[in-house]
Amino acid sequence: MDTLNPASVVSDAQLAEYREKGFIVVEDIFSADDLKQMDDALNGLIAEARDLTEHTNVIDLEPTHTPERPRVRRIKEPFLNHPVFNEMAKRPKLVAALTALIGPNLRMHGSKINLKSAEYGSPVEWHQDWAFYPHTNDDVLAVGVMLDDMTDDNGPLLCIPGSHTGPTYDHHQDGHFVGAIDPESSGIDFSTAEKITGKAGSCSFHHVRMMHGSGQNTSGKDRRLLLFQVAAADAWDIRGMDRIGSWDQFKKTMIAGEPTNEPRVVVTPIRLPYPEPLKKGSIYESQTLVKNKYFGSKPAAE
Ligand SMILES: O=C(O)CCC(=O)C(=O)O
């Protein structure tokens, strides 16, 4: 694979911004041709929803979905389920950016596409990814590949700057993990939230401990975001080997560099996502039970 100098993709200023705020946007990681390939692949996956009446292992449906009016909310694990998304994760420019941020040995520990369609795309309540999948160290982040322009008004990702160095918040309700915090009791000042915007082909990178969420898409424009969850190879999921499957499976999820069976352990604030959610399947499902919603059905741009 061609390699690029990480500093030619992520500048020193961007690196400093990532360390300070916990997120950055890097433009033009993907070309128009890459976007076209991803578009075609995604449309093929969405077409399968036409015959569905309930979620599958790959396709998560909007609450208003019917087979006559198919509405898909999320594609699960595109990296594992489609060769185009697998290939895109290994693009030299993306690997260079990731190397600058979390080092050269990189493992894809999860992936998804949140479709957030025009007019009805579901919100995602405030949460930290760390509450879902704590690892032995926090050199872990999510890449948001913008498949459409992500704008002020189509339900962009919202991040609370600096929250990646703070506590891990309680994401439980009535004794079970719900995958969202209680916005009122958290004490977080949500007016400090920044909107992550950019042109299609750009990528956002947010730290795994970042407090983030996004509102409903009430605009007339789709906001499809491909999320690659990437970990330094020596960051191991502390929920256990059963999350990974096997050593062969671990190796298959490497996108650059070398795997290791020697986890690097760094002390971080950890809360485990147990007792398990009463509703499982995706963050959307577990968050349906949340009583105190911040976004609910309110528009994103508040
Ligand atoms: O799609 C979004 O706006 C939020 C994505 C997210 O945070 C998630 O799926 O965990």
What's phi and psi for 81, nearest 5 deg? -100, -5
d(CA 91, CA 256): 10
Is the CB of 212 inside a 6 Å radius of any atom of ligand 1? yes
Q: 300 lies in a domain?
A: no
Helix (H/G/I), strand (E/B), else coil: 24: strand
Q: What is the structure's pLDDT at 1?
A: 63
Is the CB of 225 inside a 6 Å radius of any atom of ligand 1? yes
Q: What's the number of CA atoms in the CB half-sphere (13 Å) around residue 272?
A: 8
Q: How many CB atoms lie within 10 A of CB 41?
A: 20
Strand ranges (E), the chain: 23-26, 59-61, 72-76, 106-114, 124-128, 140-146, 157-159, 172-173, 176-177, 194-196, 203-207, 211-214, 225-232, 254-256
Domain span at residue 82?
6-287
For a substitution probing ligand 1, which of 109, 130, 157, 178 has the most ligand atoms within 8 Å of its CB? Answer: 157
Q: Which atom of ligand 1 is nearest to the CA of 114?
A: 1
Residues with Cβ within 8 Å of 51's Cβ and at least 6 positions away in sequence, in order, are 67
Q: 296 lies in a domain?
A: no
Q: Where do we find the tokens 């256990």? A: 240
Q: 269 lies in a domain?
A: yes
Q: 293 lies in a domain?
A: no
Q: How far is the CA of 157 from the centre of ligand 1 (A)?
A: 7
Q: What is the structure's pLDDT at 244?
A: 80
Cα of first residue to Cα of last residue in the chain, in angstroms, is 44
Q: 256 lies in a domain?
A: yes
Q: How far is the CA of 2 from the centre of ligand 1 (A)?
A: 31
Q: Which two tokens stand for residue 97?
A: 């950016």
Q: 302 lies in a domain?
A: no
d(CA 47, CA 5): 39
Q: Which atom of ligand 1 is nearest to the CA of 214?
A: 3
Q: What is the structure's pLDDT at 199?
A: 98
Q: How far is the CA of 42 from the centre of ligand 1 (A)?
A: 17
Is the CB of 154 inside a 6 Å radius of any atom of ligand 1? no
pLDDT in 10s for each residue of the chain, 302 residues: 678 999 999 999 999 999 999 999 999 999 999 999 999 999 999 888 888 888 888 998 888 888 888 889 899 999 999 999 999 999 999 999 999 999 999 999 999 999 998 988 889 999 999 999 999 999 999 999 999 999 999 999 999 999 999 999 999 999 999 999 999 999 999 999 999 999 999 999 999 999 999 999 989 999 999 999 999 999 999 988 778 888 999 999 999 999 999 999 999 999 999 999 988 888 888 898 999 999 985 433 32
Q: Which two tokens stand for residue 115?
A: 């479709």
Is the CB of 173 inside a 6 Å radius of any atom of ligand 1? no
Is the CB of 114 inside a 6 Å radius of any atom of ligand 1? yes
Q: How far is the CA of 214 from the centre of ligand 1 (A)?
A: 7
Residues with Cβ within 8 Å of 292's Cβ and at least 6 positions away in sequence, in order, are 182, 183, 184
d(CA 63, CA 120): 10
Q: What is the structure's pLDDT at 280?
A: 84
Q: 297 lies in a domain?
A: no
Strand ranges (E), 199-298: 203-207, 211-214, 225-232, 254-256
Is the CB of 128 inside a 6 Å radius of any atom of ligand 1? no
Q: Which atom of ligand 1 is nearest to the CA of 156?
A: 3
Q: 249 lies in a domain?
A: yes
Whole-prediction pTM: 0.94
Q: Report the CATH number that the domain containing residue 167 is assigned in CATH.
A: 2.60.120.620
Q: How far is the CA of 3 from the centre of ligand 1 (A)?
A: 29
Amino acid at 213: G
Report the number of distinct structural domains present in the chain: 1
- For atom 7 of ligand 1, the residue with the nearest CA is 213
Order across the sheet with 194-196: list the strands. 124-128, 211-214, 157-159, 194-196
